Structure formats: C-alpha cells, structure tokens
C-alpha cells in the first residue's frame, strides 16, 4: 500500500507543477489507485488539489490537498484535508513523501469507516 501511495503522491506532484497556477482558478487535479485492501469497503483512493470558493479566498491563492475514499458501487465519497495553503505549501507537503504517506495511512481507516456509515 505504501508504494501505491507514494506513486499517487508523485503523480499528483507532477500535475500540480504543470496545471496549478500560483494565483487564479484551475481545474481539480488528482491521482489515485484502486483499493487493494479487502478490509476496506473502498473502491478507490484519490489525492487531489482543489481550491476554496472565491467567497472563502478572494485572493485565489489558497489550495486544499484532500484525500478521498470512493465507493464506486454507491454515489458516496468521503474526503479529508491533508494539506492547505498556497501552491508553494502544497508542493512542500507533496515533497515530504514520508510524512504525507504516514498521514494518509493514518486517515485511511477512519475514512473507510465513515464511508461505511453513510
């Protein structure tokens, strides 16, 4: 699982470099993988970078780094913020693969439980 998470982080980091501006709006960028762990009722894990609404951040500089758990057999997903800040902060977070992998591994069980409770 750790290697899948690291691959997801690397893939997203490349997309952020190419597709997320320092300032302004952008389309959501994401990377993910199919869940190999049968103990979770999660179909797919996704790491994505989004932006808060203009009303929340009128400067259009802030970004969210979010982990999402999808159950593709239902219309539900659960998300958790694992990073926040401008593009530089998001890149720093994505650059510390060990810490981000640890955070993701810690959040996975709770997200999976929350998804089951819907």
Span 80-110, pLDDT tens digits = 999 999 999 999 999 999 999 999 999 999 9
Structural domain boundaries, residue 101: 2-116
Instruction: Examine the pLDDT at 118 and tell me if it is beyond 80.
Output: no
Three-class SS of residue 76? coil
User: How many beta carbons lie within 10 A of that of residue 12, not counting itself?
Assistant: 23
Which of 1-10, 33-42, 64-73 has maximum average pLDDT?
1-10
Beta strands in 27-99 (DSSP E): 29-34, 44-50, 63-70, 77-85
- How far from the centroid of its chain's Cα atoms is residue 79's Cα? 8
Q: ∠ CA 29-30-33 to the nearest 5 degrees?
A: 165
State how many domains the chain has. 1
Q: Residue 111: its pLDDT value, please? A: 95
Instruction: Say whether pLDDT at 117 is over 80.
Output: no
Position 72 confidence tier, pLDDT thresholds 50, 70, 90: confident
pLDDT of residue 74: 78
């Amino acid at each position: 699982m750790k290697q899948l998470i690291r691959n997801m982080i690397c893939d997203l980091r490349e997309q952020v470099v190419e597709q997320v501006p320092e300032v302004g709006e952008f389309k959501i960028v994401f990377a993910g993988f199919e869940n190999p762990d049968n103990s979770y009722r999660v179909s797919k894990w996704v790491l994505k970078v989004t932006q808060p609404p203009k009303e929340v951040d009128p400067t259009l500089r802030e970004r969210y780094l979010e982990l999402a758990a999808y159950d593709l057999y239902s219309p539900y997903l659960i998300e958790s913020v694992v990073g926040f800040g401008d593009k530089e902060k998001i890149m720093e977070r994505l650059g510390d693969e060990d810490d981000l992998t640890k955070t993701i591994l810690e959040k996975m069980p709770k997200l999976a439980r929350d998804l089951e409770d819907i």
